[in-house]
Structure 1
């Protein structure tokens, strides 16, 4: 702390408590060494309710990071890059797998998938060995590589919004201090050793663009630094053999957290993720809790039971959009602090449950709702109209879309194979006044409106707007989503 800041702080404290407290004010500005502070004793026997309260706090806070740890363990079992079960891009640690078209509707790796982009996915241990990720020349096509640390914060800036140049980008961990070889275009550093990459490359919904994008995405490749030779590597993603998936796909997202096992994994996560400034005390409390559980079977049993209860009572409700982000008008909510959470543990955990792997707000703004304009749950047995006034579709530099999800936040299979509408669609019809009306419901709104229709399941569903690389009205919140009108 600078002398100026010390004096200012002292002056403010003196004003608040009176001149007689000047000595206290000066003392309060003296930096405190955390390691010198008292910590809970390992020999105490705390009451069960205290243990449960601390365990609940640890579970909610640590849920996204244990989630990331378990995803990496699963995805990196792949023997080589490819599609697991023909659906999910997977790869060994240090590499990525790529789709060659939109994600399939039976994907269950992550909720709220996107059918505007071609996805990639890979996980890394960047302190063990950095990885190189290639950036081809995408031309005018929108693209962004979202790179996440274990906290699910993004690191690095690779994409169209950043005017990133083609080349080779080295992803390194927080403790890596090796030599950067000649030929590397740039270096991006993760705050944690565990990291993952989710490339997103825009694709129009036409056969012509599906063909045109192949040569570009074939150069979206990542590999360990030891394999770097300065030459652009190519993988023909649409020609790889699928990797068999022995696990049956259910209706819901893969269960990445087993509550009963959470506190068995929690200590490793604490070791992997360094505390942010101000989190040291919290880490000390959590480590104390783990220490008690390690030597007391009753405490271990109690925190496992509390994990189960917290999953049901705290985590599960985050699936409702009213518990995500903040109100955005007309019954919608919008994401807050996405992929740059800091200490916003509320939204970090909420997003990890409901729609993990958001982009940063400047890259993508998300709007979502379960309700129509009257506040009633959306039901496929009814028909709805969503009208953007002339010139009032989401103002973006990239693209926008409206996606329909079933009750589990996945696509609803339908004969049209249509799950979203927006910039990618060339057949949308405008109204006579230049406005755009989109329709949602289980029944077609009629042949003349079918190009603008999102088929819904008979039961409940959600709507979700993405605004990629939004303009100022998106960023400052002055643009609001349209009302969802019940028409039948």
Structure 2
């Protein structure tokens, strides 16, 4: 039998053949196999970018439940370098008090916030804010009672209280005491109350979990373990309308709600490749942002690290690239983190490059000059993070930040020179953060209670400059 003619096409994904030609014919068996592999591989890459926020939170919740043995509603205090070492881009200055609520287990939860210099909020598992508490919340720092309810749960807050309903069954809750005095911060923590709404008549005392000396990490795993984490949290959460297309993409790869994760050899290979390339895409999307909203000031490589609306929604689309960029390197959102009100909340500036446009290198020495009169009502801090883990830099000195709360050496004109390098510059040890040769690093500069001079651009942060080693 005479073989039908075939047209062969060289494409970006390889050579494809069609009989008798591309327009009028059918793909060959080999081309069908290649195309299906590409469909599923590309879907895995995009599903990686889509799922970063929920996998990141799921890993943190797993650390609470498995590593720390914390139950739903128990509080974990992160008040030292080692405790914070596992958190994506944690600040190294103020203590964190964190809890996860499994509302399917507990029913609606009550949080009684104390009055004072505190900031708190609750996020759903996609890291969308449910409600702010404390200084940036409706109680304005005067203290208040908040009730967090889950999908389908009915709850009534007490008179004068506040209700937030989560679209996810699991919820993150966080609290920061902003007072510089550790004793005052501890006193505020003692006044905090957390308990199930069903026990309001006889509230139990909150349970704190000690994590002293425990090394841990919420950095999402790599390879097939990334997808195991995603599959596990999908089983615990409702599927929302906006995510149904991604659930369809995952189905041919062996990830479905209500079914075990048992990928065959082909699925496992494509998922592993998708996690690898997906993370590479996440790095490019994060470290070389192409979002115009990230622009900070002309002539600098600093940018706004958090550029999404906390809801993750724009007028005609959800902010896929913006949220993937933020949640690859960081964790949580709240209205206070994107403040436009002078004196309230925080501003996050991030940089990965020096003044020359070169990537920041752990083997080199740098100086950052912080201009005088930094526009903050509270304080500023400069923190150094590891590129691989996106957590506080794990250096021998166990010190990752310098802030205006510290006793720093200040120049005669009021500016402050900070040094980031493998070795301390002589005479500037108190202004120095140690880096690790062979590891890339990046920095956040935080403004707590940013003032008008930040918002009108009259005060601009300069770039890191290479310095003598």
Which of the five TM-score ranges fits, normalised by the shorter chain? 0.7 to 0.9
Tell me the CA shift for residue 119 of structure 1. Answer: 0.5
Question: Cα distance, 1:302 vs. partner?
Answer: 3.3
Alignment partners' CA distance in 1, 2:63 and 2:457: 38
Correspondence list, 1:64-463, <5 A: 64-77=53-66, 84=68, 91-99=70-78, 102-105=79-82, 107-128=84-105, 129-138=107-116, 141=117, 143-162=118-137, 163-180=140-157, 182=158, 185-204=161-180, 209-229=181-201, 233=205, 249=215, 254-256=219-221, 259=224, 262=227, 265-266=230-231, 269=234, 272-275=237-240, 279-283=243-247, 286=250, 300-316=264-280, 318-319=282-283, 322-323=287-288, 326-329=294-297, 330-335=300-305, 336-337=307-308, 339-342=310-313, 343-359=318-334, 360-362=337-339, 363-391=345-373, 393=374, 395-407=375-387, 408=389, 409-415=391-397, 418-425=399-406, 427-447=407-427, 449-459=428-438, 460-463=440-443
Q: Deviations over 1:228-247 (max 9, x none)?
A: 23779566x6xx765896xx
Match of 2:191, SS?
coil
**2:194–2:206 Cα contact (<8 Å) kept:** no
**Aligned partners of 1:281 and 1:462: how far apart in 2?**
34
Match of 1:15 in 2: none
**Residue pair 2:282, 2:328 contacting (<8 A) in 1 also:** yes
Offset at residue 351 of structure 1 (A): 2.7
Shift of 1:401: 0.7
State the partner residue of 1:21. Answer: none
Cα separation, partners in 2 of 1:397 and 1:317, compared to 1, 3 Å: farther
Does the CA contact (< 8 Å) of 2:234 and 2:257 recur in 1? no
CA contact (8 A) 1:149 1:155 kept: yes
SS across alignment from 2:384: strand
Q: SS of the counterpart of 1:47?
A: helix
Kept in 2: contact 1:147–1:155 (CA 8 A): yes
Q: Partner residue of 1:29? A: none
TM-score (norm 2): 0.74
Q: 1:183 to 1:390 in 2, by over 3 A?
A: same
> What's the CA shift string for 1:2-51, capped at 9, x where partnerless?
xxxxxxxxxxxxxxxxxxxxxxxxxxxxxxxxxxxxxxxxxx99833223
Once the two structures are overlaid, the 10-residue window that deviates more, 313-322 or 347-356, is 313-322
The answer for unaligned runs of 5 or more in structure 2 is: 1-31, 340-344
Q: Is the 1:383–1:441 contact (alpha carbons within 8 Å) kept by the matching residues of 2?
A: yes
Which whole-Å CA distance do the structure 2 matches of 1:195 and 1:420 have between them?
29
Q: Determine the C-alpha separation between the residues in 2 that align with 1:153 and 1:223.
A: 22
- Does the CA-based 8 Å contact 2:109-2:197 persist in structure 1? yes
Provide the C-alpha distance between the structure 1 equivalents of 2:433 and 2:109, rounded to a whole number of angstroms.
40
CA distance in 2, matches of 1:486, 1:262: 40
* Structure 1 gap segments, 5+ residues each: 1-43, 79-83, 85-89
1: CA distance between counterparts of 2:45 and 2:122?
Answer: 29
Scaled by the length of structure 1, what TM-score is found? 0.72
The root-mean-square deviation of aligned C-alpha atoms, in Å, is: 3.7
Instruction: State how far apart, in whole Å, the 2-side matches of 1:265 and 1:461 are.
Output: 27
Equivalence map 1:13-32=2 (5 Å): none
